[in-house]
Structure 1
Amino acid sequence: MSGAGTVLGREGEDELLRAALDAGAHVVLEGPPGTGKSTLLRAVAGGRDVPFFLVEGNAELTPARLVGHFDPAQVLAKGYVPDIFVDGPLVDALRTGGLLYVEEINRVPEETLNVLITVMSEGELAVPRLGVIKAEPGFRLVAAMNPFDAVGTARISAAVYDRTCRIAMDYQSAATEASIVALRERDDAVDPEWRDQVVELVRRTRAHADIRVGSSVRGAIDLVGIAARLGVSRGVPATDWHVGLDAALVSLSGRVRLLESCTRTAEQVVRELYEGVFGREPAAADDKTGDAPPGEA
């Protein structure tokens, strides 16, 4: 998705993020999965030449895992002395003036979130038995969240938004997503027209009436890759209708989230979308043609 320090289709967000960080702000990147949030921040961090610390937000991210801890074995021998403290990612970022990136911040427990709020407010962290750690110049916190994911998440408090700047990131254009898929192809380039149809299929998952959350561009990347391998194993082109359908079912059925009111399976919905882009199954179409009256086939 990126190259030479840039991210395809994210020039505007890149500029905004760099300006916000240069101004001393902490930032929340908000958008669906697969929109390049992590890729964008890594590109920006590389351009700033500062340490980069990644934290995965989940229910197991306790304050101790974020901040660090005293080595229990060393405590017995030496007591609570600074040199036996094992720095966590937050303390590492504070000491080095680095970028701390917290993925899925809306999955972080409230007590851990309160630690981050304090650091953003005060620019320092008080650690029991260790003392106060002040943020070195350059320290910034960037968090990411998917506003459409309601499972296992919590509503982000106003205290977080009050201490951060927010950059909204929606899906990129169809042309940009096609370029991203092309960059990720592992084999010889596939037919560009077929690739564009794959991207169109994935984009339609985001607007289907029965789908609550559609697939990101990762679905298109996997679909193209799986179709290429299936084509080789079956001795047919990757663009074969049945190869494409099987690849679509594998790549997309687990990525889409159906509405609770939907009575169909994800596989049925994906097949409907696939036929809408690539047409009906060739064998079925041939049978229908064979039943037509003479002269109308």
Structure 2
Amino acid sequence: MSISYADLGDEVIGREREVELLLAALEAGAHVVLEGPPGTGKTTLLRAVAARQHVPFIFVEGNAELTPGRLVGHFDPAQVLAQGYTPEIFVDGPLLEAMRSGGLLYIEELNRVPEETLNVLLTSMSEGEVHVPRLGSVRAADGFSFVAAMNPYDSVGTARISGAIYDRTCRIAMGYQSPEAENQIGVLRAPEVPDDWRAKVIELVRSTRDHSDVRVGSSVRGVIDLVKVASALAQARGIPVTDWHLGLDAATVALSGRVRLHESSSRTPEEVVRELYEAVFGREPKDEDDDSGEA
């Protein structure tokens, strides 16, 4: 079934090029690696594409605990004692589930997966089959695709992906969305707020990606959470969402955990968020000043 960007509706915003490239790669029978920072819509994109193509979507969280056995499957130990190693008691893991159903296997955080598990994937990608001890060979049904995502900026708990994986996959780089796309996402997925104030929130979030002390800035998720927290605070305090101090509190809550500083930085995330907040919303107003949040 052929689909296009327009078929995805409001689920995927500002990703026309990436959707086109992904659909072309999958149509060509290729396996794909989506590479980009967190919050850039990699999982959302894959879920939407799989749903529109009406193919099974099998999600796997990549981490050090993803052993070959967990990925491929296992014989039910209790049944083995009674029946022996028969195919009927084998419990498919996500890889075999995707292969048998011709589905889309999606592994998040590929560079956190142990090398021995990646070696199992290599066989399924290059040969279209996997050999399981005592079960035999399992061939992939038509339509089986493997798509992985990885964050190149996070080095903690990650490993370098081998050239063998890259040689068997197509790579699509996914950067941050445009300001216009992030505004549209904010309108759709966060409470209603004044347009000019939301525009400043987007400017603030985007500025976290360029600060000299910041290694990884906030994604558009920071916009959504900041607006949600500010709206809740406004209701609790009985003041406008544009209040300067309210906005700073919301920004600190929503962004200080998302910005990751360089190890050489002597500053705290809260200090960086306040600096950026003041650059966008102006310095802290004095008592006699208008506290509406206008710079």
CA contact (8 A) 2:11 2:44 kept: no
Counterpart CA distance in 2 for 1:209 and 1:260 is: 12
Superposition TM-score, scaled by structure 2 size: 0.94
Counterpart CA distance in 2 for 1:15 and 1:278 is: 38
Superposition TM-score, scaled by structure 1 size: 0.93
Match of 2:215 among 212, 215, 222: 212
Matched, 1:254 2:283: no
- 2:107 is matched with which residue? 102
For structure 1, which runs of at least 5 residues remain unmatched after alignment?
A: 287-297
- 1:143 is matched with which residue? 148
- 1:272 is matched with which residue? 275
Match of 1:128 among 133, 144, 151: 133
CA contact (8 A) 1:20 1:26 kept: yes
- 1:74 is matched with which residue? 79
Counterpart CA distance in 2 for 1:133 and 1:58 is: 25
Match of 1:170 among 175, 196, 200: 175
Match of 1:231 among 234, 241, 252: 234
Runs of 4+ deviating beyond 3 Å: none
- 1:295 is matched with which residue? none
Q: Which amino acid aligns with 1:220?
A: V
Matched, 1:283 2:286: yes
Counterpart CA distance in 1 for 2:287 and 2:268 is: 22
Match of 1:161 among 162, 166, 182: 166
Q: Which amino acid aligns with 1:217?
A: V
Counterpart CA distance in 1 for 2:259 and 2:130 is: 41
Alpha-carbon offset, residue 283 of structure 1: 2.1
Q: Which amino acid aligns with 1:237?
A: P
Alpha-carbon offset, residue 4 of structure 1: 2.6
Counterpart CA distance in 2 for 1:87 and 1:263 is: 49
Counterpart CA distance in 1 for 2:263 and 2:95 is: 39
Q: Please say which structure displays the higher CA radius of gyration.
A: 1
Q: Which amino acid aligns with 1:215?
A: S
Q: Kindly, what percent of the aligned residue pairs are identical?
A: 70
Matched, 1:244 2:247: yes
Counterpart CA distance in 1 for 2:253 and 2:136 is: 52
Relative distance call for 1:257 and 1:178 in structure 2 (3 A) is same
CA contact (8 A) 2:8 2:52 kept: no
For structure 2, which runs of at least 5 residues remain unmatched after alignment?
A: 1-6, 290-295
Relative distance call for 1:40 and 1:238 in structure 2 (3 A) is same
- 1:222 is matched with which residue? 225
Counterpart secondary structure, 1:175: helix
Counterpart CA distance in 2 for 1:258 and 1:277 is: 20
* Count of aligned pairs: 283
Counterpart secondary structure, 1:126: strand
Matched, 1:112 2:114: no
Counterpart secondary structure, 2:286: helix
- 2:292 is matched with which residue? none
Alpha-carbon offset, residue 47 of structure 1: 1.8
| CA RMSD between the two structures | 1.3
